[in-house]
Every structure is written in structure tokens, then in C-alpha cells.
Amino acid sequence: MLKTKITELLKIDHPIMQGGMQHLGTIELASAVSNAGGLGTINATAYPTLEEFRSAIRSLKSLTKNPFCVNVSMLPNASPGELTAEYFKVIVEEDVPVVETAGRNPVEYVPMLKSADIKLIHKVPAVKFAKKAEEIGADIVTIVGFECAGHPGMEDVTTMILANKVAKTVKIPIFVGGGIADGAGLVAALALGGEGVVMGTRFVATEECTIHSKFKECLVNSCENDTMLVQRSIKNMVRAMKNNTAFKVAEMEKRGTTLQELLPIISGKVGRRCQAEGDLEGSIFAIGQTIGLINEIKPVKKVIEDMINEAETILARFNSITK
């Protein structure tokens, strides 16, 4: 067992979190992670209506008695029609234990979370934003580096540097994400000053993830060179699998495209359909460089058990070489 400030604070057995994964963060995946002693997460924005969102939280509660998390991913600027404020209301009403926010500063929701004793994890890709997370009262900050799936930030700084620096900059506990998929990554994160790890990519290659099996097979057969960065030109950079769509987007960006032109190609709706149907080429597929470390589709419980066992073996070796 690895006991850290984060396992204590969140009342979880292992310092391992499944980060928000849009529509792939299903109640099945999240409950499997929480039941295995980690922190499983569903995404509010995967539910188009508040009724569906509320019902998902209730179903998740029926599948696990352990703490779980709800991710609220926000666009950099509030946009008309977004349900962010309403999602937070439901989160409080349904007594969700932990919230992960990403995308923009959640400061306006901090008082309601604090008064409901809901723990807030804010996920950021840069040191300055980690400082801000502490200032606004987040309980935990997650720092994600260049290797990560999804949004690595605009500055191209690796997890190795960011985690080390954030741990020296803030006093609140930190989750480290981006590039972590096994026990070695977990120990490295702890060595850098982290109190736990957040993973996305590793949880895609699990039995419980609902993505089409073609994606899981593709993932275990890929290497660390098979991802690329797109959407830099619209300041919403994404690390994704190299495929026809990612190359097309990159080409459009090279010749100077607009958000309007890109939207039909990068829309989440297209991604969702392709991921359900097994169309590997038809959409942007967010995935991280850890695909070079993942060789097997496993049940979630085994992913977590293996990580903890590997981490303990490494720590015992460290102990044996310490004079």
C-alpha cells in the first residue's frame, strides 16, 4: 500500500486517478477504478441534459461505495448555452465527493464546493496556473505535461520539469499526469514531489473502456512516436493519434485555417461516432505518448494492482541500495 497526502485527503486506497475522459469516462469505467481503490471519474459534459447527468451520478453511486469524481471540462471562455453552472448545482445536490475541473479557472464555484465539503482538483498544464489553483482554494492541483493525451498546454514543457517545479512552488498536494502508465511512472511522480498520479491513456486500453476494440488493439500495437499535436493554431492544442484526420487538420493549420473551418472535423460528436464504430481514421483521437509503454489490454483492477506491485518492487530496490 502507498499512503500519501492524497490517499488520506480523498479517502482512497491507492494514489491513482482516472482523469476525465469525456464520453469514455463512463460509469462502468469510473466505478471499476473506484472499486479497485483508485479514483474513477465521469465527465459532466458527456451528458447533454441535467437529467441524464443526475441519473449517471446516481447510477455510479449504485455501482461503487467508494469515492469517485466528476470532471467539469470548460472552454477557456464561458460560451452561450454551456451548462457549467447547472452541472455544479447538480454536483452539490447529489453530494459528489470530488470534482476535477479543467480548461478555465473555476474560482466562481469554489465557495459552493467548500460549503458542501466537496474536494476540488484543478487540472493545469503550467506552473503559473498551478499557483493560481492554490490561490483560489483548490484542494489538489493536477499538473499535466507535454506527453499527455488531450490538452498539454501551449508551452511544450514535459511532465518531468513541470511536476518537479510545481511541487516546489505550491503547498497543496499535487497529482502528476502525462506520460504515466505503470509503477515506474508512479514512483517517478512521487520522487518529483507528487502525491499521486492521473492517467487517461492507460485506462483506454482496459476491458472496461467502452471504445471499439479496434482502438484498443491499435493502441497496444502503437509506439511512442505515433501521436502528434494538432490545434495549436486555435490555441486549444491536443495530443492525438497520428491518423488521416490529424494529418488533415495539421495540413489545414499549415495553410492557415479558422476555427469555423475546423469545427466540423474536430467536433466531439464525430469522435464519439468513430470511437463507437471502430473508425480509426475518421476523427481526432486524443491519446498520449504512453501508448509506447502499453502492451496489453487488462481489466482496470489488474492495471492498478500491477502498478502498485511494480512501484513497491522499485521502492524496495531503492531501499536496498540506500546505505
Ligand X SMILES: Cc1cc2nc3c(=O)[nH]c(=O)nc-3n(C[C@H](O)[C@H](O)[C@H](O)COP(=O)(O)O)c2cc1C
Does residue 38 bind ligand X (CB under 6 A)?
A: no
Q: Are 114 and 137 in contact (CB under 8 A)?
A: yes
Residue 198 interacting with ligand X (CB under 6 A): yes
Q: How many angstroms separate the CA atoms of 97 and 120, rounded? A: 9
Nearer to ligand X, 124 or 172 (CB): 124
Work out which of 284, 287, 303, 304 binds ligand X, going by CB under 6 A: 287
Number of residues forming the site for ligand X (CB under 6 A): 29
Surface-to-core class of residue 13, CB atoms within 10 Å of its CB (0-12 exposed, 13-18 middle, 19+ buried): middle
106 binds ligand X (CB under 6 A): no
Contacts of 6 (CB under 8 A, 6+ apart): 12, 15, 140, 173, 175, 195, 196
Place of cell 499527455: 148
* 40 lines the binding site for ligand X (CB under 6 A): no
What is the residue type of 106? P
Which C-beta is closer to ligand X: that of 7 or that of 71? 71
Nearer to ligand X, 186 or 262 (CB): 186
- Report the nearest approach of ligand X to the CB of residue 272 (Å): 11
Among 10, 12, 24, 127, contact with ligand X (rule: CB under 6 A): 24
Amino acid at 75: L
Q: Is 201 in the site for ligand X (CB under 6 A)?
A: yes
- Closest distance between ligand X and the C-beta of residue 197, in Å? 8
Residue 288 binds ligand X, judged by CB under 6 A: yes
> What's the CA gap between 314 and 312, in Å, rounded?
5
Q: Contact region for ligand X (CB under 6 A) — 52-60, 193-201, 221-229, 253-261?
A: 193-201
Residues 136 to 155 in contact with ligand X, rule: CB under 6 A: 144, 147-150
Looking at beta carbons, which pairs linking 253-257 to residues 24 or more positions away fall under 8 Å? 257/233
Measured from the Cβ of residue 103, the count of other Cβ atoms closer than 10 Å reads: 19
Residue 7 or 201 with smaller CB distance to ligand X: 201
C-alpha cell at 55: 441519473
User: What is the number of the residue whose Cβ is closest to ligand X?
Assistant: 200
The answer to whether 19 contacts ligand X (rule: CB under 6 A) is yes
* Number of C-beta neighbours around residue 137 at 10 A: 15
Q: Is residue 84 near ligand X by the rule CB under 6 A?
A: no
Contacts (Cβ under 8 Å, ≥6 apart) of 136: 105, 106, 107, 110, 122
Q: For residue 82, give the amino acid letter.
A: E
Q: How far is the CB of 316 from ligand X (least distance, A)?
A: 25
φ and ψ of 163, to 5 deg: -60, -45
Residue 7 binding ligand X, by CB under 6 A: no
Tell me which of 29, 33, 199, 266 binds ligand X, using CB under 6 A.
199
Q: Read off the C-alpha cell for 58.
A: 446516481
Q: Residue 223 gets which letter from DSSP?
A: -
Q: What is the DSSP letter of 39?
A: B
Instruction: Tell me the window of 80-88, 178-186, 249-257, 312-320 that interacts with ligand X (CB under 6 A).
Output: 178-186
- 43: contact with ligand X by CB under 6 A: yes
* Closer to ligand X by Cβ: residue 262 or 274: 274
Binding site for ligand X (CB under 6 A): 19-22, 24, 43, 71, 73, 102, 123, 144, 147-150, 177-180, 198-202, 204, 286-288, 290
